[in-house]
Amino acid sequence: MNILSVLDFVVAALLLTAASYLVRRSRMGVAGVALGGLWALLVVTQLLGLGTASWLLQVSFAAVAICLAIAFQAELRHGFESFAAWFSRRRGGDHSEPEVDAIIAAVRQMADARIGALLVFPGEQAIEHCLTGGHELDARISEPLVLSLFDPSSPGHDGAVVVEGGRLTRFGVHLPLSSDHAALGPGGTRHAAALGLAERCDALALVVSEERGTVSLAERGAIQPVPPDAILATLRERLGREISGERGESGPRWRRAGPWLDVAVGAALAGLLWAFVAPGVSRAERTLTLPVEVMNLPDGFELTEARPAEVEVTLNGPRMRLWSLQPEDGRVLIDAGRVLEGRRGFRVKPSAVHLPRNIEVVAIHDPRVRLRVRRSGRASE
């Protein structure tokens, strides 16, 4: 352990935390899992030394990553916006009972009169890229103003009204339409627009049906009707949170969990990678003592001694393989074919060191080896 090891772990944990946050807060969870599986397979092929398979996976990984980035560019943008909002959360205005009551009263009147309406309450993510058309307003919330904006004779009654920080900021805005007909059920265009926005960001959309006089809420890719006997309590609770900026989360528990879940996931994955994967793909050096073996000794000669019997060698290779490498896994081969010429001393070259694949020789310490041989019953050196 040293300062670089700690820095390596921290940077990896931060990157994996960001990846966890992006995948968990977007609709690209399956794509993220697929990309992670492909990357894990790439690491395994590198550890096993499968050169061709590793190269093919590297090319495939880059191509798949580019395709996913293009296909999920909206999700990635929304995820980055949400990740940035983690550090600087958007706050609405102070909680104001009159403003909440004004919206609730207007919604109840429009539901009773079957006047269609669509109100949008932005969350932490920016929604500008989901809005088209409309007119700037920036007015304080009041019941008469809300009713006038959705009056059938109003030019902007078919659009949505955006509520931010206790104020009506835009009206007559058009939203992207959802194509999830199963989730929409009998809902019309306003419901499709509310769900379309909820599928693309974390905004809350409130819909009043013009045909049935019902009230629905769309958020986190789902739209749910509000029961008639719960309209007052539900809207007071939800709109109070939206206007004051104190938002709750909806959806599965794993999606509703706070950002500390991503920190825990990032730290755990970084620890696993640092302990098991990084040693296999990063290179390191290790000094090992390898045995000396003599080959090609001429007929009529016997080897009585090789000095030294072992050679100290510094090796370079994947850290995990170096950790598991044993002296018997390598050897230093001395070609004794020139003993007939009277040669007894041999210089060890890197080519004479036989090692497992992907292990290289950095240095050979004391590279001279002398042989003691005998012939016809007498020893010679």
Per-residue pLDDT tens listing for the chain (381 residues): 567 767 877 888 888 887 777 666 655 566 667 777 777 787 777 666 676 777 787 777 777 777 777 766 666 666 665 555 555 444 444 444 678 888 888 988 998 899 999 999 887 777 887 888 888 888 888 899 999 999 988 888 889 999 887 789 899 999 988 888 788 878 888 999 998 988 888 788 899 998 888 889 888 888 888 886 777 777 777 776 656 555 444 444 545 555 677 788 778 877 777 665 555 556 778 899 999 998 888 888 888 888 899 999 999 887 767 777 888 889 999 888 877 767 778 888 898 999 888 788 999 988 898 888 887 555 455
Please say whether the beta carbons of 194 and 207 come within 8 A: yes
C-alpha pair distances (Å), 4 with each of 7, 11, 51, 285, 354:
5, 10, 29, 16, 32
Element housing 51 (H / E):
helix 51-71
Catalogue all structural domains in the chain, each as residue range(s) with its CATH number. Answer: 3-89+255-279 (no CATH), 97-244 (3.40.1700.10), 283-380 (2.170.120.30)
Q: Is the pTM of this model over 0.85?
A: no
Spatial contact of 19 and 6, defined as CB atoms under 8 Å apart: no
How far is Cα 133 from Cα 171, in angstroms, rounded to an integer? 9
